[in-house]
Structure 1
Amino acid sequence: MKLTRRRGLIAGFSLVVFVAVAASLAWGQLQRYALEPVAITVEATPITSFDTRDPAQLRFGALMFRGGLALTSKHPAFGGISGLHMEPDGAHFIAVTDRGSWLRGRIVYDSNGKPAGIADAELAPILGADGTPLAAHKWFDSESLAERDGMLYVGIERVEQIVRFNYRRDGLKARGEVMKVPADFKTFTNNKSLECLAVPPHGAPHADELIAVTEESLDADGNLRAFVLKGAATERFSVKRSDEFDVSDCTVLPPGDLLLLERRYSIARGVAMRLRRVPLAAIKEGAVVDGQALIQADLAYQIDNMEGVGIHRTPQGETVLTLVSDDNFAPIQRNLLLQFTLAE
């Protein structure tokens, strides 16, 4: 197939995806969130190659493809995975969905270390301080997730709030505590805000501080507004926006980088995702930070609406990145789980 024709097909498909996403926002309110903690069955179809044109290729930019899964479930609340936290063992995970549910489970690996399935999967409502589901109060657009000392922090778009949960103590029944956020959170662009939360570990720049980067709430120069949340001492900085990419999640890449997961929806150019590393040491009040792209991929690769990224290290010392996608509860999209190893 000629390159121009392939690009045309990708652009055409991206238009369909764009329309589906817009439509999902209209009827997404009808989607059920989990009403109580429930065990579910998740079916997983292995993805053995990332490049659909060259199954033998394993290296992509600075990453090596380990394997992936396409995930489905019959439970109506499964889908819309929008934020991910990997436990240190590299198997157990917890995620949030953009309809207001927790998703918890365990990645099963084959003898070669490739993802082979999902076990022990559970869904549960994300609860407010009163014990009722946040989604019931229209605080449902949970898009970002970070962990600090056993506490989970969830960023909720549209209401522009961050809610804290004592997950280590209470598990999926944890009740949320609304954090105080800067007043200028209310100036974010609607549905373009709290897609990225991260907490650098002990010893890293900005250790134990909560970093937030907006999806596409722009400053006067067209860059992404970002914050280091320290209570009254909040620092404001910007992340350089380039090539029409917007932030969809983040994590910390040891020893000292903020790893940004980015996506692009463009009718003319198609759908794409990118991972970019930004030095934590460059983050200062008023700074505009930028960084190196580790990988960039379009629909010629096994991607979808990539919205979550987590990280762990293997006993052999490898750094593994786990990416998940948000299907928007749309039948033409997929819930993907992809794993890469840092090649450096």
Structure 2
Amino acid sequence: MRLTRRGVLAGLGAASIGLPEARAQSVEPGRIPVAISVRPFDAFEPRSPGKSRFGELGFRGGATLRGDHPRFGGFSGLWRSASGADVVAVTDNGFWLTAKAVSEKGRIARFEQAELAPILGASGRPLHRSRYYDTECLTIVGGVAYIGVERTHDILRFDWARHGVEARALIVPVPREVKRLKSNRGLEAIGIVPAGQPLAGALVAISERSGKEDEPTLGVIIGGRRPGLFQVRRHDGFDITDLAFLPGGDLLLLERWYKPLRGVGMRIRRVAAGDLRPGAILDGRYLIEADLGQEIDNMEGLCVHQEQGKTILTLISDDNFSFLQRTVLLEFELA
């Protein structure tokens, strides 16, 4: 979901995609080099600079990112390779960001080989020039990338291993209940159930908010042994903005709260692996909660990777391309 500039000002002061034209479309220049400046911060909570433990997470480091291209920003989905070095993100207006993360002293210090590229539809036409422009979540597993599209309520599949940013989208069929979601309350979280679980290999997607305030929101299991629908309980006005699976199968849910005149909040919930099944109503304990007393913004992207036996959570914010907001990158270690 996009927090509008007006709202921020008030608050803070597989089938081919059917495109409108049948004739071939010219493709915009593919890769756009971008220089990313990294402004690190050592304290997640500025008023408590020595504090490093927040709930069940240990703060490793954070930074504010800036790019030298106007398309940089609006990041709503995030992925890191098993080593953490390769980074892929999607913007909420239809662009890929790819980069190499260079870490020093256990935290990201800079990005190299950073590039932006338009996400392509089946014809080669950029998604940002089609009705599939609102790309909100990302996962890459086994060389295949999946992106959730809000407003049209679609899931797109890309042959990432073979084509990278030049891959063209295929639509993954979804249940009719997904297509009935409200326009700007669609799929915000996506992931693949890891190996060793009863639903291993299934695609899981969750809508931001499918009902009224604090009513459960819709989730879907596609493929695998037991496809079907489930729900996720919502509390305190928080919306779902992303998900990631831990290696053992537990599900992490990134949630975001926003109210005009009051600001933003963030938290991460952990759902037991065995709870995920058709017909379930998922809930779980919170690993961390944060608000504007900590270094957060509109946190929308979450991914997990392993580093020397440690489980690392990386989060990124969607700045909505607003000068009032920031692209914040955070790294935590699961205790």
TM-score with structure 2 setting the length: 0.90
Alignment of 1:252-271 (within 5 A): 252-267=245-260, 269-271=262-264
Give the 3 Å change call, closer, same or farther, for CA 281–232 of structure 1 in structure 2: closer
Q: How does 1:231-250 map to 2 (within 5 A)?
A: 234-250=227-243
Contact 1:20 1:330 in 2 (8 A): no
Residue aligning to 2:132: 139
1:103 is aligned to 97
Q: What is residue 20 of structure 2 aligned with on the other side? A: none
Cα distance in 1 between the residues matched to 2:259 and 2:40: 28
1:74 paired to 2:63: no
Instruction: Give the structure 2 partner of residue 324 of structure 1.
Output: 316
With over 3 angstroms needed to count, the CA separation of the structure-2 counterparts of 1:175 and 1:113, relative to structure 1, is: same
Distance 2:158 2:51 in 1: 41
Listed as ranges, the matches of 1:143-292 within 5 Å are: 143-218=136-211, 222-230=215-223, 234-267=227-260, 269-292=262-285
Match of 1:305 among 298, 307, 312: 298
Which shifted more, 320-329 or 115-124?
Answer: 115-124
In the TM superposition, residue 205 of structure 1 has moved relative to its aligned partner by: 3.5
Using the alignment, how far apart are the partners of 2:78 and 2:307 within structure 1?
18
Counterpart AA for 1:305: N
Choose the corresponding residue for 1:113, options 86, 96, 106: 106
Residues paired across the two proteins, number: 318
SS state of the match for residue 210, structure 2? strand
Distance 1:313 1:285 in 2: 29
Q: Deviations over 1:89-135 (max 9, x none)?
A: 1121111100100001122211x212211111110000011111011
Distance change in 2, residues 1:40/1:269 (3 Å) = closer
Structure 1: which amino acid aligns with 2:45?
A: D
Match of 2:21 in 1: none
Counterparts of 1:219 and 1:19, CA distance in 2: 22
1:91–1:107: 8 Å Cα contact kept in structure 2?
Answer: yes
Q: CA deviation at 1:273?
A: 0.2
Per-residue deviation, residues 210-259 of structure 1 (Å, max 9, x unmatched): 00111011289810111111299631111010111111011101202111
SS, match of residue 130 in structure 1: coil
Aligned to 2:81: 87
Q: 1:146, CA displacement in angstroms? A: 1.4
Which digits, 9 at most, give the CA deviation of each residue in 1:145-183, with x for residues without a partner? 112321000000011111100001001111111111112
1:94 partner SS: strand
Which of 39-48 and 216-225 deviates more? 216-225
Two-structure CA RMSD over aligned residues (Å): 2.3
Q: Determine which of 289, 303, 307 is the counterpart of 1:296.
A: 289
Tell me what 1:10 maps to: none
Contact 2:80 2:304 in 1 (8 A): yes
For structure 2, the 5+ residue unaligned runs are 12-27
CA-CA distance at 1:280 after TM superposition: 2.5
Q: Is residue 18 of structure 1 aligned with residue 7 of structure 2?
A: yes
User: Could you tell me which residue of structure 2 aligns to residue 4 of structure 1?
Assistant: none
**1:241-297 deviations in whole A, cap 9, x for unaligned?**
011111101110120211100000023653100000112311222211100100000
2: CA distance, partners of 1:265 / 1:304: 10
8 Å CA contact 1:102, 1:126 repeated in 2: yes
Q: Structure 1 unaligned segments of length 5 or more: list them.
A: 1-13, 23-33
Q: Which residue of 2 aligns with 1:337?
A: 329
Partner Cα separation in structure 2 for residue 195 and residue 16 of structure 1? 20
Q: Secondary structure at the match of 1:102?
A: strand
- Closer, same or farther: CA 196–132 of 1 in aligned 2, 3 Å: same
